[in-house]
A and B are shown apart, each in its own frame.
Chain A
């Protein structure tokens, strides 16, 4: 009897798929639902590849100066021209990708983790901790954020590490707020009650049951925030904080090229600036695409 009644059901149901296959199917759905998101993803992949392999593929040494070839416009030999010391701008732009991405990714990662923890505790337990952290975040938000980042770097010392920390601090409130809101609306959801009744500890409920459910909105915040983090970090190095010459970094390259704009040597500033713009643009498109997917109502 068992054979008779269950066999057809098994035949109709699709073959059980592995988690990997399901993940891939979902990914394909995300990518095909909006072509712009797909383009952004391709750009992101390209950027990551450039960051990983760029330094070993560039045609010239990004730090090798040649006084005879200073300030040459773009040519077949030097695609993006050469700078005031005769260094190849193309190689420098490519090599800088790694540093720029590393700064902004680590900054955003720090604010994501710290912000999520802070917000989750505040949202889950409320009380004095919630009020205290809320006050702290309000104080951060009361500063013009770029100015605060300048102040932090000035105070803590002019190093790349402090650029990362400053960028992380000014982004922290955004993550903490999203995490707090998402956790507090789930604090007494039915599945949380069920978990509590079946004997889970509060900490386990927060980490295993609630946090995974807050991840989608947090991820959207993350990719919307990345572009802004890149802009901030590049802005800081543009004003001479953090990265020092002769290191190749987009912000400082634009700053160095700025002196030559008025005499018409546009390629020094244009190419690193364009690379920066493209990176920010990619993350913004990706963030918008993900946001539309998670929350279609907020589409604008």
Chain B
């Protein structure tokens, strides 16, 4: 049976508590992984591994490809980032590749360093929900 949104949120919370060593109460929908929960680069890989483990079932593996959850390659392609700002092409790519990240506010000031602020607990839950439903 498909997991409910509440079950997904509880599982994502477990993953973040284990991966980041944070308090359960701090894992709220609006919390950002980097700013609020203190995630560092290696933690993203840890989170990916744990999500795969948590949501895989015997008949349906939950496999996250590189760049599917966190757009790592965005930082290096010069056509996507100019002078520290994400280009229109970059924004379009973000919307296409990482629809679980709400970039509507980010667009107004697309400073690349601000991008991690938009990776929230809600982003992760949306990602999992969409992927499980696919």
Do the two shown chains form a genuine complex with each other? no
* Residues of A that sit less than 8 Å from B by CB: none
